[in-house]
Amino acid sequence: MTSSLLTVITFVPLLGAILTLFPWGRWLGIDKDREERLIKNGATAISLLPLGLALMLAAQYNPSAPGFQFEIKVPWITALNVHYHLGVDGLSVPLVFLTTLLTTLGLWYSAQTIKTRVREFFFLFLLLEMGMIGVFVSLDLVLFYVFWELGLVPMYLLIGVWGQPKDRPQYSAIKFFLYTMAGSVLMLLAIIGIYLSVGTFDIVEAARLKPFADNFTLASLAFWAFFIAFAIKVPSWPFHTWLPDAHTAAPTAGSVILAGILLKLGAYGILRINLPIFPQAFKAYGLIVVILGVISIVYGALVSLAQWDLKRLIAYSSVSHMGYVMLGAGAAALAIGAQEWTDSGVMALNGAALTMFNHGISTGALFFLVGVIYERAHLRDLKMFGGLSNKLPYYYGLFAVTAFTSLGLPGLAGFWGEFFVFRGAFDIVRIWAAIGVIGIVLTAAYILWKVVQYVFLGQYDPHKIKHWTDPTTGAEGHEPTDVARFEKITLWPLVFFMVLVGIFPAVLLNYFNAAFLALLTSLAGK
């Protein structure tokens, strides 16, 4: 069981995806409505399986044991020494869990809100889950690349088909695809380069053998090829321009997955590949990464501050939040080999990983919350809202917790990621960390001023939005209805994790800390 657990988690979604394709309506003799409901509920139910198994994985994972666990390694393409090699360490376990959690919630939410082309939607969503989990558990570069690209295709279709027509979904979808693809083809060349240098595609082996150890130019080229591929996905300034379009155009659950998981794929790649395999190059260019991170933090927050579209605002806030991850990773790279900075480096990495998880939870929840209001008002213009705290108190409560998590209020999850990133980075890159702190102030500004104040505070004006839809019945009314039961079910698990990690960050730090300590110590030894 231990060696096949990851395989099962990865491919159960594929099985589920294939199951959605069968003509159940004809086989069971039910009409189209009931068939669609069957597909919706079936897909959601199947996604509970990887979620449960991911919980089991997290429970059985032993943080104090070194190296990768639950490993499986069988030859795949013998001519190229490519293996089907899966395994998890302290970094990937929480991310696998995050993926399965957000997928299940996304499927559950979509089961209530997706009305058109149901079968395709649920097929693609499950396929997407397989691609994302696959990236987090792959320990072979070719396998990693295959899963990396596999996640791209379903998301392209999700944006293009189910996007809101006024958000230019077709344009956003192709932009998303081409940006990622431009990065990944360069990554492919670098993967080939690693193979030609050390004769293996294995991530663990490559990290041990250090490709291009004697040729800094080639090592730099390969480093940048990987880094740009991941920075596009993260996305770091200046590669971020696909993000606001894609996030805004995607259907709610698509935005949740985009912000919650797909961005993490890029950050994960930096921590999984760039840092262990090219430590020398990363150390040499660490400052550039730090600066890119700081620019992303400040720029993303400033642009968020200027948005009037709620969804676009949250999309840009992702650029800002992912900047913390870059800052932490860059600072940790600068700490390689410097004995006195090891602690700070590990803390910066812990912060980066915590931010990845927390951002997945909080921004995922924010996109769900945008979906909640959009399903009712059919618009997202901040100027059209106001005074909703009286009308939708439950919604206000959920939104407030999530928004405060996002701005890093102590006691909620978001705080710890930022705290550890800055605690680590301040030691290593003091000036840049100090500039980055401005981002926290700006985040508070756009969350409190733009979101909370414009949407919830002030006087409710019944003339601004005359038609409110009730998402459960589809009935039109003059008054907004508060959060429905299915929306509560979607949001409560996320709120639970915001609070849990907020008061007890050790649940995650247990996983991260040991892995990063081992990583930085091993790199220092080289």
Which of the stretches 76-84, 273-281, 432-440, 514-522 binds another protein when contact is defined by CB under 8 A?
76-84
Phi/psi of residue 468, nearest 5 degrees:
-110, 135
Place of tokens 């996030």: 247
15 binds another protein (CB under 8 A): no
Question: Total residues at the site for another protein (CB under 8 A)?
Answer: 33
The Cα 104–Cα 46 span in angstroms is: 9
- Which of 98, 165, 101, 156 has its CA nearest to residue 127? 156
Least Å distance between CB 161 and another protein? 6
Q: Pattern 86-125, binding to another protein, x per CB under 8 A?
A: ----------------------------------x-----
Residue from 68, 195, 367, 512 in contact with another protein (CB under 8 A): 195
Amino acid symbol at 213:
A
Using CB under 8 A, which of the segments 100-108, 170-178, 470-478, 490-498 binds another protein?
170-178
Task: Say if residues 123 and 20 touch (Cβ distance below 8 Å).
Answer: yes
- Give the residue from 431, 451, 428 showing the smallest Cα distance to 335: 428
Cα 492 to Cα 271: distance, rounded to the nearest angstrom: 30
Stretch (H or E) spanning 468: strand 468-469
Using alpha carbons, list the distances in angstroms from residue 351 to 183, 306, 326, 347, 509. 26, 28, 10, 6, 9
Nearer to another protein, 174 or 444 (CB): 174
Beta strands in 62-114, from DSSP E residues, in sequence order: 69-77, 82-88
H helices present in 210-341, as ranges: 216-233, 242-249, 252-257, 263-269, 275-277, 279-305, 310-334
* Span of 143-151, 203-211, 276-284, 375-383 interacting with another protein by CB under 8 A: 143-151
Cβ-count burial of 481 within 10 angstroms (0-12 exposed, 13-18 middle, 19+ buried)? middle
Q: Pick the binder of another protein from 188, 503, 507, 517 (CB under 8 A).
A: 188
Cis ω for the linkage preceding 238 (within 30 of 0): yes
Using the rule CB under 8 A, which residue among 14, 38, 48, 181 binds another protein?
181
Give the shortest CB-152-to-another protein separation in angstroms.
8
**What phi and psi, each to the nearest 5 degrees, are found at residue 476?**
-90, 145
* Residue 19, burial from CB neighbour count under 10 angstroms (0-12, 13-18, 19+): middle
Residue 262 lies near another protein (rule: CB under 8 A): no
339 binds another protein (CB under 8 A): no
Q: Which of residues 56-75 bind another protein (CB under 8 A)?
A: none
Mapping DSSP to helix (H, G, I), strand (E, B) and coil, where does residue 122 land? helix
235 preceded by cis ω (within 30°)?
A: yes
- Please return the burial class of 457, using the count of CB atoms within 10 Å of its CB with bins 0-12, 13-18 and 19+: middle
Query: Which member of 49, 174, 284, 287 binds another protein (CB under 8 A)?
Result: 174
Q: Does 128 bind another protein (CB under 8 A)?
A: no
Stretch that binds another protein, among 175-183, 380-388, 401-409, 502-510 (CB under 8 A): 175-183
Residue among 76 and 460 whose Cβ is closer to another protein = 76
Q: Which region among 190-198, 254-262, 387-395, 425-433 touches another protein (by CB under 8 A)? A: 190-198
State CA 39 to chain mean position distance: 26
Measured from the CB atom, is 110 or 296 closer to another protein? 110
Minimum Å distance from CB 214 to another protein? 15
Pick 144 or 454: Cβ nearer another protein: 144
Six-digit token pair at 445?
């500004």
80 counts as binding another protein under rule CB under 8 A = yes
Minimum CB distance to another protein smaller for 134 or for 330: 134
| Shortest distance (Å) from residue 195 CB to another protein | 8
Q: What minimum distance in Å lies between the beta carbon of 261 and another protein?
A: 19
Q: Work out whether 14 is an interface residue with another protein (CB under 8 A).
A: no
Closest separation in Å from C-beta 109 to another protein: 22
Q: Strand, helix or coil at 62? A: coil
Q: Shortest distance, CB of residue 149 to another protein, whole angstroms?
A: 5
CA–CA gap between residue 247 and residue 114 (Å, rounded): 17
Residue 193 or 408 having the CB closest to another protein = 193
- Under rule CB under 8 A, residue 19 binds another protein: no
One of 97, 177, 357, 426 touching another protein (CB under 8 A): 177
Candidate list 178, 213, 338, 489; residue touching another protein; CB under 8 A: 178
Phi, psi of 386 (to 5 degrees): 135, 140
* Chain residues in the site for another protein (CB under 8 A): 77-80, 120, 142, 145-146, 149-150, 152-153, 156-157, 160-161, 169-170, 173-174, 177-178, 181-182, 185-186, 188-189, 192-193, 195-196, 221
